[in-house]
Amino acid sequence: MNPEEFVNELNKHNIAISEEQTKQFAQYFTLLVETNKNVNLTRITDQNEVYLKHFFDSITPLITVASLFTEGARICDVGAGAGFPSIPLKILCPDLKITIVDSLAKRLTFLKNLSQELGLSDVELVHGRAEDVGQNQLYREKFEIVTARAVANMTVLSEYCLPLVQTGGFFVALKGPKAQEELDDSQKAIQVLGGQLESAKELTLPDSDEERSIVVVKKVKATPKKYPRQAGMPRRKPIQ
């Protein structure tokens, strides 16, 4: 998917993209590839692959569950790495208020430079483990939407993300193909953490065999205070 095909595909889904936004994605690609020479941000550096597997993949929630992304919504992106999915979402929806949580300072330095380069406002960068941030009263249950992409399985991911979602808000997980098995295994964790499965939608990225799933969990009640547990515990002893 080259930049022109990216724009055309967005238009097919009634997602407007201006010349300025198109330029921002081009700048994003350039800075990503340049920084990646010194900092391990991604194994994908080919332009067509970045536009398909990073940029377009990141905005699939705007196609599948667009109604969640209301104007001015506060979004927390857990383990964003090189900014996926939050920065592509921010470029297309500039009014979103983005908080990015990542444990690696080098990645956050890249995201700080990127936000400045692209002229993005309302992007807060938080250096820390998701387990620690989820117990911080500045962030706990403060977001309408919490996103995560390629971070962990749904059981672990739910403990990272649901404590950050406000009651009535949503946890949106961008997963690979056939997420149903993960969902089956995570039902107990989702319930314990105050969530309820809203939807799980499968899709294929354009002109490819790249299958994806968008899983949406609604926060229906407050997360018990003991969650998230201390750093490392969700992976070592997942909620069963």
Distance CA 99, CA 119 (A): 16
171 is in an annotated binding site: no
84 is in an annotated binding site: yes
- Tell me which residue of 40, 82, 42, 59 sits closest to 1, measured CA to CA: 59
Distance CA 197, CA 170 (A): 10
Question: Does residue 186 contact residue 203 with C-beta atoms inside 8 Å?
Answer: no
185 Cβ contact partners less than 8 Å away, ≥ 6 residues apart: 153, 154, 155
Distance CA 65, CA 228 (A): 26
Tokens 């997602």 belong to residue: 15
107 is in an annotated binding site: no
- Tell me which residue of 42, 76, 56 sits closest to 172, measured CA to CA: 76
DSSP 170-236: EEEEEE-S-THHHHHHHHHHHHHTTEEEEEEEEEE-TTS--EEEEEEEEE-SPPPTT-S-STTHHHH
Sequence ranges of the binding site: 79, 84, 130-131, 149
Sequence ranges of the binding site for S-adenosyl-L-methionine: 79, 84, 130-131, 149
